Amino acid sequence: MLSAGTGNVPGLLKAYSACLITFFGNPKQNAIEQGSVDRMTGRRRAVRPDPLSPEQRRHNMAQIGSRDSKPEMVLRRALHRAGLRYRLHVRGMRGTPDLVFTRCRATLFVHGCFWHAHICPLGITPATNAEFWVKKLERNVERDASSTAELLRQGWRVAIVWECSLKGRARRQLDEVVAEITRWLNSDEPELEIAGNWEGWPTGVRNSFV
Ligand SMILES: [Zn+2]
């Protein structure tokens, strides 16, 4: 094992770590030994054969996919169903818009109420460690404002869809949100903001039931 000549430090280290692995067991190696390795991909195959047929598995996985309830995914699927086509997370653009409707010269952001400090019951800054959160969330708000300003300056239009319009107690009908976005896309209005329906709700308190 110590065939590496003296003075060959990396070689010695390698030999030393190999000894340690022999002693303690290499977790990676142990894991591999529990299942066979696919020679093509180098990935470990499942230890037990899949009890579902490939067709059943495909159906199962598709079902799991469709249960993704992240507000952005819910909206994206609904817009796609309505026949709208868009590009996703366009990095070259200021603020990396979630959706870009190139032909309509429009961008759309789905903002989480907490992280983007929406003025709604979901967007209240925590009382614990308030100073830290105020600074952090203020930075996010400033960044959002400057992204919007820059996109508008470049001739893009900007829509903000708040998370609370898509999930929780104040959420709007998905059809209503899609209709409003469609109307805006076909207009020449530079900005659009869609928030939850908080009318009649107390603000200034974090509602645990939302
Ligand atoms: Zn909100």
Q: Are 54 and 43 in contact (CB under 8 A)?
A: no
Could you state, in order of their start, the residue ranges of all structural domains in the chain?
1-49, 69-194
Beta-carbon contacts of 194 under 8 Å, excluding residues fewer than 6 positions away, are 159, 160, 161, 162, 165, 172, 177, 180, 181
In the reported structure, the alpha carbon of residue 55 is separated from the centroid of ligand 1 by a whole-number distance in angstroms of 41
CATH class of the domain whose range is 69-194: alpha beta
Q: Are 71 and 163 in contact (CB under 8 A)?
A: yes
Q: Could you tell me how many residues make up the chain?
A: 210
* pLDDT tens-digit series, residues 25-61: 444 444 433 445 656 666 665 556 666 777 776 666 5
Q: pTM for the full model?
A: 0.65
> pLDDT at position 144, please?
97
In the reported structure, the alpha carbon of residue 89 is separated from the centroid of ligand 1 by a whole-number distance in angstroms of 21
Residues, CB within 5 angstroms of ligand 1 (ion): 113, 118, 120, 122, 162, 164
In the reported structure, the alpha carbon of residue 129 is separated from the centroid of ligand 1 by a whole-number distance in angstroms of 21
> pLDDT at position 125, please?
82
Beta-carbon contacts of 81 under 8 Å, excluding residues fewer than 6 positions away, are none
In the reported structure, the alpha carbon of residue 137 is separated from the centroid of ligand 1 by a whole-number distance in angstroms of 14
Output the six-digit token pair for 178. Answer: 């899609």
Q: Are 189 and 107 in contact (CB under 8 A)?
A: no
Helix, strand, or coil here: 22?
helix
- The secondary structure of residue 158, as a DSSP letter, is E
User: Residue 158 — φ and ψ, nearest 5°?
Assistant: -130, 125
> pLDDT at position 26, please?
46
* pLDDT tens-digit series, residues 118-163: 999 888 888 888 899 999 999 999 999 999 999 999 999 999 999 9
